[in-house]
Amino acid sequence: MVRSFRVLAATDRGLVREGNEDAGLVSPRLIAVADGMGGHAAGEVASHIAITSLSSLGVVLDDTAIDEESREDLLLNICYSIDQEIVDRTSENPALNGMGTTLTSLHLTDRTVELLHIGDSRAYRWNGKRLSQLSIDHTVMQELIDQGRLTPDEVHNHPQRSLLTQALMGDSGIDPVLVCLDAASGEKFLLCSDGLTSVLSDHEIEQIIKKSSEQDLLADLIAATKDKGAPDNITLIWAEIVDEDLTYHELLGAALE
């Protein structure tokens, strides 16, 4: 029996943005969130490039003939391919200049999950009691936390909390993170764009997970974000590792709605 993700996914424009620049990918063993930037049309293009490129790896990543090192190389290299495609698309259409996207994904193997991350979309693990952040934000605020100059509580309401130090923007100055984590069947994960985490604290998210039924969870998280103004797009993927083979289903951009 092949391990798979059992997934719930949702996206919402929020209360301020005119469009939705987020995109997401859901498949049996590969899930991802991308948060586009650079204006409504350009952000949508960048996040779509990231999700479409990553999706194209799905079958290859699950090929049993691929060893672990080769698979990791493929995952890391897709970020450089996305970065180059952004360069190419911007050259073809200067109106897209400045577009970029985050990318946070989990790939499931028979024993582990592989976290690929660049930007400030987040990956969390839920152990039934506590929410643990797996990704580390590529932001100026996170660097200040690492240096001991700010505390996490001070960052949450800081006006520059979303200023990125890394993103897929076609500037070639990227250093994507790939981490391999042990993961057992039954474990649950949350992927989300910063439209959620810039509004709700980890503690608030944790309390909603505890109180909500699984079926209502994503709607409850979006509602709580909207109660606080929802200034950005919100994209959420809730995934549980299960011992069953699910039908492939891919969601791009607004198709998550």
pLDDT digits (tens, 9 = 90+) for 178-232: 999 999 999 999 999 999 999 999 999 999 999 999 999 999 999 999 999 999 9
Can you read off the two tokens belonging to residue 137? 């934000």
Check residue 171 and give its pLDDT: 78
Q: For the ranges 79-93, 103-117, 127-141, which has the lowest average pLDDT?
A: 127-141
The C-alpha angle 204, 47, 19, rounded to 5 degrees, equals 70
Round to whole Å and give the CA distance between 100 and 46.
5
Is the pLDDT at 160 greater than 70? The verdict is no
Q: Classify domain 4-256 at the CATH topology level.
A: Phosphatase 2c; domain 1 (3.60.40)
Check residue 236 and give its pLDDT: 98
Question: Which residues, other chains included, contact 23 with Cβ-Cβ below 8 Å and sequence gap of 6+?
Answer: 33, 34, 36, 44, 47, 48, 50, 51, 101, 235, 252, 253, 256
Instruction: Render pLDDT for 31-56 as a digit per residue (tens, 0 to 9).
Output: 999 999 987 779 999 999 999 999 99
Q: Which one-letter DSSP state was computed for residue 139?
A: B
Q: Which one-letter DSSP state was computed for residue 166?
A: -
Neighbouring CB atoms inside 10 A of 241's CB total: 19
